Amino acid sequence: MSDHGVETRQFGHRARLALSPALALKADDQAHAARAMWNLLHAWWQLMPTEKRTLANADAAIRQGRDLNITRVHRRWGMVNLPKIGRVRFRWTKDLPVGKHADKENRITGARLVKDPLGWHIAFRVQTLEPVPKPHRGPEIGIDVGITVPIALSDGQTYEHDAWLTEREQARLLDLEQRAARRKKHRKPGERTSRRLHHTYDQIAGLRAKAKRRAADWQHKTTTKIADTYGTVVVEALTITNMVKSAKGTVDAPGRNVAQKSGLNRSISAEAWGRTVTMLTYKLARQGGTLAKVPAPNTSRRCSACGFTTPGSRETQALFVCRNPGCGWSGNADHNAARNILHLYRMGHALIPAAGRAVARRAQRVKPATAR
C-alpha cells in the first residue's frame, strides 16, 4: 500500500467480440428490442408526473449486465455470458479483475454491447482499488499541437504519424465514395435506398472506422509515453469548435477561400486535439502528474529567445525567424510555439478551470468565523 493511501478508480474497457453470423443476428435482434423498449419507457416517462418518474432506475437495470461469468481461456481470448445471446468470446487486451482477482473493491460492475462499422464490441465497467500515486518527479514540458507536426514538445522532440489509411485503402475509399455518389444521383426523389447503396455505405463506414481506430491507438500510445516521462504538461487552451467553423458565409456576405478552409477544418478534426488533451489529463492524474492550460494568442508569433512578437516572424509552416534586429533567432516554428507555451506557464499565466473558479468564488463569499 502507498504512503498516500488508496483510492477507488472507475474506468471503461472496450473489447471486440468474436460473433458467428448466427450470434451476430441475435445481437442485432436484441439491439432492436432494447431500442424499442427504451422508446416505450421514454414515452411512459414523459406521461408520468415528475415525482413518479423512475426511468433512471429502469435504464440502469437494462444496462446492468449481471452474471457475466467472465473467464480467461487463452492469452488473447476471454469468454463472457451475454443475456439472450449465449456464451461468446471476446478479445483479451487488458487484465480484468475476474476470478480469484475479483473482490468487493476490484470487480466488473457491468457491461453493455456496442456496435460500430467494424462489428460488435463489449464495453465493461470496471472498478478497482489502487494506491494514490505519488507526485510525478518528471520535468515540465510544453506541447504545441498542429497538423503538419501533430505534437511538438518544447525540448525539441516531435511525435508524428503516417496516413491512417494505406494508399490502397485510400484509393478504395475514393472509389466507394464516387460509386455511392453516382448511385445516389440516379435515385429518384422519394425512392428507397437500394441494398446495393446501403452496402456501399457500410464499406465506406468500415474504412473510416478503421482510420479512426488507428488514430486512437496512436494517440493512446503517444500520450502514455508523455505521461510516463513528464510530471507537468502544458498545452494551449484552444476553442476547437470555433477553429473549425465553416467559412461559407451567407448569400449577402459570401466567404472567401471556402474550399481551403474546409480542407483545414477536416485536417483539424482528423487530428482530434481535444481527445489528445483528454487522454493526457487522466493519464497524468494516474501517474501523479498535472496538466495545465495557458492562453493561446501569440504563442506562434512570439520569439522564445527574446520575447519579441510580430505577425511576420513565421515565414513558413515549419520555419520561425525573429524580426527583432537585435535577435534574429531562427528555428522550428512548432518547437518555438511549444517553448512559448511552457514560458507562459512558468510566468504564472495558467488558466484556472471553471470548477476551480467556482470554488474560489465560494471561498471569497464565506465570512470568517468570529471568536465567541
Q: Does the pLDDT of residue 360 top 60, yes or no?
A: no
Q: Does the pLDDT of residue 256 top 70, yes or no?
A: no
Q: What is the DSSP letter of 224?
A: H
Which residues, in sequence order, are bridge partners of residue 121? 16, 114
Q: Does the pLDDT of residue 178 top 90, yes or no?
A: yes
Q: Does the pLDDT of residue 254 top 90, yes or no?
A: no
pLDDT given for residue 279 in this prediction: 92
* Beta strands across the sheet bearing 119-131: 71-72, 77-82, 86-91, 6-18, 119-131, 107-116
pLDDT given for residue 243 in this prediction: 64
Q: Which helix (H) or strand (E) holds 31?
A: helix 21-47
Cβ-contact 152, 22 below 8 angstroms: no
Worst-scoring range by mean pLDDT, 166-175, 261-270, 281-290, 316-325?
261-270
Q: 319: how many CB neighbours lie within 10 A of its CB?
A: 13
Worst-scoring range by mean pLDDT, 53-67, 95-109, 213-227, 341-355?
53-67
Q: Where are the chain's structural domains? A: 6-131, 140-162+218-360
Q: What is the C-alpha separation between 12 and 90, in angstroms, rounded?
A: 15
Domain 6-131, second-level architecture: Beta Barrel (2.40)
pLDDT band, residue 245 (cuts 50/70/90):
low
Q: Does the pLDDT of residue 288 top 50, yes or no?
A: yes
Helix locations, 154-272, DSSP H: 167-185, 195-229, 240-243, 258-271
pLDDT band, residue 4 (cuts 50/70/90):
low
Q: What is the C-alpha separation between 133 and 344, in angstroms, rounded?
A: 27
Taking the alpha carbons of 76, 79, 84, 85 in that order, is the dihedral positive or negative? positive
The arithmetic mean of pLDDT across residues 184-213, rounded, is 89
Cβ-contact 128, 22 below 8 angstroms: no
Q: Does the pLDDT of residue 102 top 60, yes or no?
A: yes
- Take residue 98 and report the three cell numbers written for it: 475476474
Taking the alpha carbons of 158, 164, 167, 173 in that order, is the dihedral positive or negative? negative
pLDDT given for residue 367 in this prediction: 40
pLDDT band, residue 215 (cuts 50/70/90):
very high
Q: Tell me if the pTM is above 0.85.
A: no
The amino acid sitting at 213 is: R
pLDDT band, residue 358 (cuts 50/70/90):
very low
pLDDT given for residue 120 in this prediction: 92
Most confident of 91-95, 306-310, 364-368: 91-95
Cβ-contact 201, 261 below 8 angstroms: no
Q: What is the C-alpha separation between 324 and 326, in angstroms, rounded?
A: 5
Cβ-contact 299, 337 below 8 angstroms: yes
The arithmetic mean of pLDDT across residues 68-78, rounded, is 89
pLDDT given for residue 333 in this prediction: 86
For the chain, the average pLDDT equals 82
Q: Does the pLDDT of residue 53 top 80, yes or no?
A: no
